[in-house]
Amino acid sequence: MPRFLKKLVNKQVITALLILIQLGVIVWFFYRLSQFFVYIYIALVLLSLFIVIYIINRPDNPSYKLSWSILILTIPFVGGVLYLILGGKRIPKEFRKEMIQSDNKKAPYLIQDYFIFDKIQAIDPQLLKQSRYLYKNAYFPVFENSDTHFLPTGEEKFDAMLEQLKQAKHYIFLEYFILNEGFMWEQIFTILKTKVAQGVDVRVIYDDFGSYKLPKDFIKKNNAVGIKTVVFNPLRPRLAIFMNNRDHRKICVVDGLVGFVGGINIADEYINVIERFGHWKDSAVMIKGEAVWSLIVMFLTFYHSITKIQEDILSFKPQYDAIYDDGFVQPFADSPTDEEFVGESVHLNIINYAKDYLYIQTPYLVIGHNILSALGGAAKNGVDVRLMLPHVPDKWYVQMVSRSNYEVLLKSGVKIYEYEPGFIHSKTMISDDVVGSVGTVNMDYRSYYMHFECGILFIQSKTIHQVKHDFLMTQQECVEITLEDVQKTNVLVKLVSAILNMFSALL
């Protein structure tokens, strides 16, 4: 079958088409209804107006509220109905209940050593606020006896991951947004089969939307050789906001002693075996020691919520005998099942902490007023703020929205660089050689509000210095974007970008 036909008949496209058909039917139905019954039209318009008032008074992101308000008022005869179906960010009650229960179950397993808080307080009270926030609101403690190593490319992460998988004796946990068959998966699959034969407990979670290219028999094939494989939130052709809540996390845990977190999925473009958008620049971090325990709890609570399996999570906790001295390490997770925007808060806290410099790598810059003003404010206060984004986009419309934010940032003194060889997928943020994060959280609305995400906060860790070195080396391969460059942008491009930006919170 020709390549373009394969794209047209894949599950993701078919599901999207069926959802669009449902959406079209709803719009057509209410349009015809409003044409023939004037009182119904008035009722629908009034409903839309009341919903706009409701949206404006909700404690949501202002950009999200603006996007929906514009959409509803543009098509008032059906806008309110669409919001009731799609706009409430609702997750099915049963799933929300399971995830909230899972979150609550973390509390007995993840206990903070408050002497560590005292040590962070002695370094800087502002840093303690960040760590205390993550523990009090996301249930994830900060650890001291841990070691970290930054992996600046997909190739390095893949090699390190294979080495650790080969050493597994008890269990292997893999959780990825994108899992595609190819060279990368075949290498991993071969090791996993061998490990299962040796009695190792191997479990895999993948997101159905991100991994839509997988064959229908993928789970059956894995389970046949003993690899316990489950899919998160299977794609269904139904008009429901829950279809937007995806598992965007990337976690690998080996025996509870070693863990990996970062932007790198299991697909060949991430290690440049194949080329999609030029050279793929990505990163991850490997951690060892006590902080890995949070990744275990993170994975197993999610696995249990999907499979309904009940296990004693404490039975998976290893004995941590090694002694490490690498600052403070705090893995964390973010979930759309609550009203706590953990990923966004971590980013804001690091931005607001910066006094000397702030270096950020992100594939997207689809941000609201709070992040935009924080970045601009830091630069105006004399902080050396540098953003690094892709020059070659994976989604043209997202790049247009990202670039629509350039002018205001440049005028504030922020420096912007685009990675000329291709696409940057890294999600790193560091400040002042003191604090930083590496993880899966993009600077966009999906990561902040709709996806399940994870990351690691570092305080006085060598990973911060390694990320800084990688940023400065990568900067040499970038083109700096100036205010003059932005002001020369074609008027039509500016217009399209401005329109897309109005609805950026819905992209």
- Measured CA to CA, the distance from residue 87 to residue 80 in angstroms comes to 9
Active site residue 250: yes
Cβ-contact 246, 220 below 8 angstroms: no
SS3 state of residue 364: coil
Selecting among 288, 427, 451, 468, the annotated active-site residue is 427
Indicate if 255 belongs to the active site: yes
> Is 427 an annotated catalytic residue?
yes
The pairing of strands 357-361 and 384-390 is parallel
Distances (CA, A) of 496 to 150, 206, 260, 369, 409: 38, 35, 39, 20, 19
Nearest to 104 by CA among 135, 139, 136: 139
Query: In sequence order, which ranges of 205-341 are alpha helices (DSSP H)?
Result: 218-224, 292-307
Q: Which of 248, 281, 288, 451 is catalytic?
A: 248
**Of 263, 261, 317, 248, residue with least CA distance to 289:** 317
Cβ contact 501:407 at 8 Å: no
The residue from 268, 432, 444, 470 that is catalytic is: 432
Q: Residue 356: count other Cβ atoms within 10 Å of its Cβ.
A: 11
Q: At what angle do helices 38-56 and 11-36 cross, to 10 degrees?
A: 120
> Nearest to residue 180, comparing CAs of 212, 155, 154?
212
Which residues are CB-contacts of 194 (< 8 A; sequence separation ≥ 6)?
Answer: none
Partners of 331 in the beta sheet?
456
- 195 phi and psi angles, rounded to 5 deg: -70, -40
Of 255, 268, 334, 470, which is the active-site residue?
Answer: 255
Distance CA 80, CA 46 (A): 9
Which of 195, 391, 425, 451 is catalytic? The answer is 425
Which residue in 65, 157, 195, 250 is the catalytic one? 250
What is the set of active-site residues?
248, 250, 255, 425, 427, 432
